[in-house]
Amino acid sequence: AQKITQTQPGMFVQEKEAVTLDCTYDTSDPSYGLFWYKQPSSGEMIFLIYQGSYDQQNATEGRYSLNFQKARKSANLVISASQLGDSAMYFCAMREGMDSNYQLIWGAGTKLIIKP
């Protein structure tokens, strides 16, 4: 079974609009972390934001925020006031705390295209 699901293979959004990228996860581990990475066409993975399973508040980093709904096991990324430079692939990933090898488990990604 997939542990990280990103249901949107691609999205088109008008510049300056907010965009929500979906991510649902599956784990029985009470201690885990959720990550979002951005991958521009250049190839490099860029860390955006992190949410820990015990964090009481939703994580925010500048224009990025994470809509963390623990009961629903969802960790959607919200980008406010989108810019042309936000066009990229976006990956959700999870790291389980009790897993002995602490591997990052990745979703398949969402391709976001910002239209001028």
Partner 1 sequence: ETGVTQTPRHLVMGMTNKKSLKCEQHLGHNAMYWYKQSAKKPLELMFVYNFKEQTENNSVPSRFSPECPNSSHLFLHLHTLQPEDSALYLCASSQDSLRGPYNEQFFGPGTRLTVL
Q: What is the DSSP string of 60-93?
A: EETTEEEEEETTTTEEEEEESS--GGG-EEEEEE
Three-class secondary structure of residue 46 per DSSP: strand
Spatial distance between the Cα atoms of 91 and 115, rounded to a whole number of angstroms: 20
Q: Which residues in 29-88 contact partner 1 (CB under 8 A)?
A: 31-33, 35, 37, 42-47, 50, 52-53
Beta-bridge mates of residue 66 = 77
Count, residues near partner 1 per rule CB under 8 A? 29
32 vs 68, which CB is nearer to partner 1?
Answer: 32
- The yes or no reply on residue 4 touching partner 1 (CB under 8 A) is yes
- Which of 109, 110, 112, 114: binder of partner 1 (CB under 8 A)? 109
- Which of 66, 76, 88, 107: binder of partner 1 (CB under 8 A)? 107
Q: Tokens at residue 44, please?
A: 């490099």
- Which chain residues interact with partner 1 by CB under 8 A? 4, 31-33, 35, 37, 42-47, 50, 52-53, 91, 93, 95-97, 101-109
